C-alpha cells in the first residue's frame, strides 16, 4: 500500500504540539512498518529532523502560504504519486482530495466560545481558516482520528458525525523524557536556580497565563520557599502586559522567561523543576503533562476537558478558572513531602500507558481498514 502523509511543518525550527505528533508518529511508523510505502509531504525548513529510508520518502513542496500549500500544492503532488490514501495530520485538509482521506482532528476549539480576545494575527488567521475548511472536509473523510475520548465525544456531540467515522488514538511522548540527574549546565541557560516551578505558556488564551501568574503571585505571599517561575514560549513584553493588567508587577523579579526552549533541553528542565504547572482552560490531550510525568516531576493540571483522562484520577488537578485553587495545589506539594513523593511515583507509573509505538500501530490498523 502507498500511504501519503501531510507533515507540512515538521522541518521548521520552532515546532509545536501538532508538529511533534506528526513527527514522532512518522518516526515510529518508519520503525515498525516495512511493508507499506510512505510519502511524507513537508515544507522545506532548517531542521531536517526526519531521514528517508527504503520505504519512507520525503517530498518537499514550496508555497508562499499554508492555505495555498494545502489546497493547491498538496493535492497536485498527491495526484502525481497516486497513493492509496492521504493522511492529513493537523486539523485541515484539501477540499478536493484525489484519493481516500484520513484526517487527524486534534480538537474543535475553533467552534467553541472564546475565553479571551487576545489572539495574535497568526492565530486569528488560523482560526478563520479552520472554521472555513474543517466543516467542508469532514464529509470527504473515510476516517477521522482524534486524540482522546473526551475530544471524540465532544466532536460527535457538536458535529453529529457517524460514530464509526471517528476514532480516538492517544498520543505518546518521546523516550528522551525520563528520570535523569539534574543538569545545571543546561538549566542554567534558562534560569539561575537549583529549584523552580515550570510553566509552559504561550499566547494562546487556553494556556491560562493570566490566572497562572495571579496564582503564582498569591503563592509567593504564602510560601516559605518562594520558588522562582520559569515560563517557556512566552516573550517578556507579553508577560509584562499581563503583570500590569493583573496589578502584580512586584513578582517580575521571580519570573524567568527565555522564550522558545529547544525540545532537546526540555527533559533537563522538567527534571530540574520542583513541579510543572499545566492548568489549561482546555486541552484535547496534553503531551507536556506526559513529558513532565515521565521525568518524575509532579504536575498540576486543569480538571477540565481531556486533562483528567490523560493525567488520570491520581493526578493533582486544579480548577483552571480559580487561581486560588492553583495556588493551593502548589502549596500542598511544597508543604507535604508524602504527597509530593506519591505524585512522583504515580506519574512514573501513569506514563507507561502511552507510547508513540502504540499510536503508530493504531494508525496502521486504520490505514488497512480503509484499503482492504
Q: Report the CATH number at residue 145.
A: 3.40.50.2000
Question: How long a stretch of residues is the chain?
Answer: 372
Quick check: is 218 in a domain?
Answer: yes
The average confidence (pLDDT) of the chain is: 94
Are residue 343 and residue 361 in the same domain, yes or no? no
Least confident of 61-70, 108-117, 191-200, 282-291: 108-117
Kindly state the average pLDDT of the residues 146-158.
Answer: 97
Kindly state the average pLDDT of the residues 89-95.
Answer: 96
Residue 372 clears pLDDT 90, i.e. is over it: no
Closest CA to 180 of 349, 261, 263, 294: 294
Number of domains present in the structure of the chain = 2
Distances (CA, A) of 149 to 195, 295, 352, 358: 35, 25, 18, 16
Residue 164 clears pLDDT 60, i.e. is over it: yes
Closest CA to 42 of 82, 3, 7: 7
Are residue 121 and residue 20 in the same domain, yes or no? yes
Are residue 138 and residue 250 in the same domain, yes or no? no
At residue 262, the pLDDT reads: 87
Are residue 294 and residue 360 in the same domain, yes or no? no
Are residue 82 and residue 206 in the same domain, yes or no? no
At residue 350, the pLDDT reads: 98
Are residue 13 and residue 141 in the same domain, yes or no? yes
Are residue 18 and residue 157 in the same domain, yes or no? yes
Q: State the residue range of the domain holding 56.
A: 2-172+355-369
237 Cβ contact list (under 8 Å, min separation 6): none
pTM of the model: 0.93
Quick check: is 277 in a domain?
Answer: yes
Are residue 188 and residue 229 in the same domain, yes or no? yes
User: Is there a contact between 359 and 106 (Cβ–Cβ < 8 Å)?
Assistant: no
Residue 123 clears pLDDT 70, i.e. is over it: no
Amino acid at each position: 500500500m502507498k500511504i501519503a502523509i501531510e507533515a507540512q511543518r515538521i522541518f521548521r525550527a520552532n515546532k509545536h504540539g501538532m508538529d511533534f505528533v506528526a513527527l514522532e508518529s512518522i518516526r515510529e511508523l518508519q520503525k515498525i512498518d516495512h511493508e507499506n510505502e510512505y510519502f511524507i509531504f513537508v515544507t522545506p525548513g532548517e531542521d531536517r529532523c526526519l531521514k528517508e529510508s527504503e520505504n519512507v520518502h520525503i517530498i518537499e513542496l514550496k508555497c508562499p502560504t499554508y492555505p495555498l500549500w494545502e489546497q493547491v500544492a498538496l493535492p497536485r503532488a498527491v495526484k502525481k504519486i497516486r497513493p492509496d490514501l492521504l493522511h492529513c495530520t493537523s486539523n485541515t485538509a484539501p477540499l478536493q482530495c484525489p484519493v481516500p482521506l484520513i484526517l487527524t482532528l486534534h480538537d474543535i476549539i475553533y467552534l467553541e466560545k472564546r475565553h479571551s480576545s487576545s489572539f495574535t494575527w497568526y492565530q486569528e488567521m488560523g482560526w478563520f481558516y479552520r472554521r472555513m475548511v474543517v466543516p467542508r472536509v469532514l464529509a470527504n473523510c473515510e476516517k477521522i482520528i482524534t486524540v482522546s475520548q473526551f475530544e471524540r465525544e465532544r466532536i460527535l456531540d457538536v458535529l453529529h458525525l457517524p460514530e464509526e467515522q471517528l476514532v480516538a488514538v492517544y498520543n505518546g511522548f518521546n523516550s528522551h523524557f525520563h528520570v535523569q540527574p539534574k543538569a545545571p549546565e543546561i538549566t542554567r541557560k534558562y534560569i539561575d536556580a537549583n529549584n523552580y516551578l515550570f510553566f509552559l505558556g504561550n499566547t494562546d488564551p487556553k494556556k491560562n497565563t493570566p490566572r497562572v501568574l495571579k496564582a503564582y503571585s498569591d503563592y509567593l505571599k504564602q510560601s516559605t520557599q518562594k520558588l522562582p517561575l520559569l515560563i517557556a514560549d512566552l516573550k517578556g513584553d507579553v508577560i509584562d502586559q499581563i503583570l500590569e493588567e493583573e496589578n502584580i508587577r512586584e513578582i517580575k523579579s521571580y519570573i524567568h522567561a527565555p522564550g522558545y526552549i529547544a525540545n532537546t533541553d526540555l527533559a533537563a528542565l522538567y527534571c530540574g523543576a520542583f513541579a510543572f504547572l499545566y492548568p489549561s482552560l482546555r486541552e484535547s490531550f496534553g503531551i507536556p503533562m506526559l513529558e513532565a510525568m515521565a521525568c518524575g516531576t509532579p504536575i498540576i493540571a486543569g480538571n477540565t476537558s481531556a486533562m483528567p483522562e490523560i493525567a488520570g484520577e491520581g493526578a493533582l488537578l486544579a480548577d483552571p478558572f480559580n487561581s486560588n485553587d492553583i495556588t493551593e495545589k502548589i502549596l500542598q506539594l511544597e508543604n507535604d513531602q508524602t504527597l509530593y513523593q506519591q505524585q512522583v511515583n504515580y506519574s512514573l507509573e501513569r506514563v507507561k500507558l502511552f507510547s508513540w509505538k502504540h499510536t503508530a500501530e493504531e494508525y496502521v490498523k486504520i490505514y488497512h481498514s480503509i484499503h482492504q
